[in-house]
Amino acid sequence: MIANLKLLLIAIELLFVTFSYAQKPVLVIHGGAGNISKSHIPDSLAVKYKAKLSEALRAGYAVLERGGTSLEAVRTAINIMENSPLFNAGKGAVFTNKGTNEMDASIMDGATLNAGAVAGVMHIKNPINAAIEVMLHSPHVLLSGEGAETFARAQGLEMVDASYFYTEKRYRQLKKAQERESETQGYISPWLNDFKFGTVGAVALDKQGNIVAGTSTGGMTNKRFGRIGDSPIIGAGTYANNNTCGVSATGHGEYFIRSVAAHDISALMEYKGLSLREAADEVINKKLKEMGGSGGVIGLDKNGNITMTFNTNGMFRGYIKQKGDPQVFIFK
């Protein structure tokens, strides 16, 4: 009898310890940064963006709440944004100069420092899922083009005809960019052509305390020559480390690659003891800005503190720390 009582007490204590030490889950997402002002986004459109961001946050958070992994939460949130024509990823991907849609994505697991990425893929419905497959089921980190697609097909991912990615809005953006280019008779940086983006990203912290970060994009309108941005580059567009933080970036990719932005934020925390917010501010508002780079990041640290830092006039973004309570924002 006494032994049973003791066992019961131990069980209650264990339950209490487990409960009190379980990490409170957090999810933070972005849907691109850039010249996003009220004149570009009428109220009716802002409502649509906010609804989609909230849907992605709710669905991703539901995964975390029921004890799912940060990897599954990131996949869930990103898939919802990839399947929406609102964002420059998956269904809403921008067009290249050739009139194709060539997408990049990456994922990193902060517990293992394992990572996966794909670049320049044209037939994978959800490129983030391919990045996850690369991480989990290949000895590699970054696969590109046809090879990446062959791998994705073999892993059983959903493949689509290239026409799936056609949206009239993005096609018009390409035509406009090309008109501008012919007026100036020169090759204009895709960034200058279309200073607003829609790359998507998510960073999650699960109940086990594990951080995962992911990013998915169509890149930049009118990009050429097989251009690859920062989104599939681990350390530039995406980074995660349970000891520091998880980060997903959006903006003028060339600058994020050159400044190794996502990893730099983690390194500033690790080596200099900065908080996530201080580190993100240093990289986005100082280093990147001085180089001439525009964009932003979302991130969270191991304690669930978040950042949504950008040096543009807007970033589609949001976070959720509590069931049913997504917080979403667009403008500064």
Give me the active site residues, please.
199
- Nearest distance from C-beta of residue 173 to ligand ASP, angstroms: 12
Residue whose CB is less far from ligand ASP, 61 or 197 = 197
CB of 194 closer than 8 Å to CB of 173: yes
Q: What's the gap between Cα 246 and its chain centre?
A: 10
Q: How far apart are CA 98 and CA 224, in angstroms?
A: 8
- Nearest distance from C-beta of residue 243 to ligand ASP, angstroms: 26
- Nearest distance from C-beta of residue 32 to ligand ASP, angstroms: 5
DSSP for 126-164 reads: -HHHHHHHHHHHSS-SEEEHHHHHHHHHHTT--B--GGG
Residue whose CB is less far from ligand ASP, 262 or 306 = 262
Residues 6+ apart with CB under 8 A from 104: 117, 118, 119, 120, 121, 127, 216, 217, 219, 228, 229, 231, 232
CB of 27 closer than 8 Å to CB of 201: no
- Nearest distance from C-beta of residue 200 to ligand ASP, angstroms: 9
Residue whose CB is less far from ligand ASP, 193 or 231 = 231
- Nearest distance from C-beta of residue 124 to ligand ASP, angstroms: 16
10 Å CB burial of residue 180 (0-12, 13-18, 19+) is middle
Output the CA torsion sign for 230, 242, 203, 304: negative
Number of other CB atoms surrounding residue 138 within 10 Å: 14
- Nearest distance from C-beta of residue 199 to ligand ASP, angstroms: 3
Residue whose CB is less far from ligand ASP, 206 or 230 = 230
Q: How far apart are CA 70 and CA 324, in angstroms?
A: 18
Reduced to 3 states (helix: H, G, I; strand: E, B; else coil), residue 311 is: coil
Residues 6+ apart with CB under 8 A from 18: none
Helix (H) or strand (E) holding 73: helix 70-82
Of 15, 56, 76, the closest CA to residue 316 belongs to 56
Residue whose CB is less far from ligand ASP, 204 or 228 = 228
Residue whose CB is less far from ligand ASP, 228 or 274 = 228
- Nearest distance from C-beta of residue 192 to ligand ASP, angstroms: 13
Residue whose CB is less far from ligand ASP, 29 or 220 = 220
Q: Give me the residues that bind ligand ASP (CB under 6 A), please.
A: 32, 88, 197, 199, 217, 219-220, 229-231, 250-251, 253
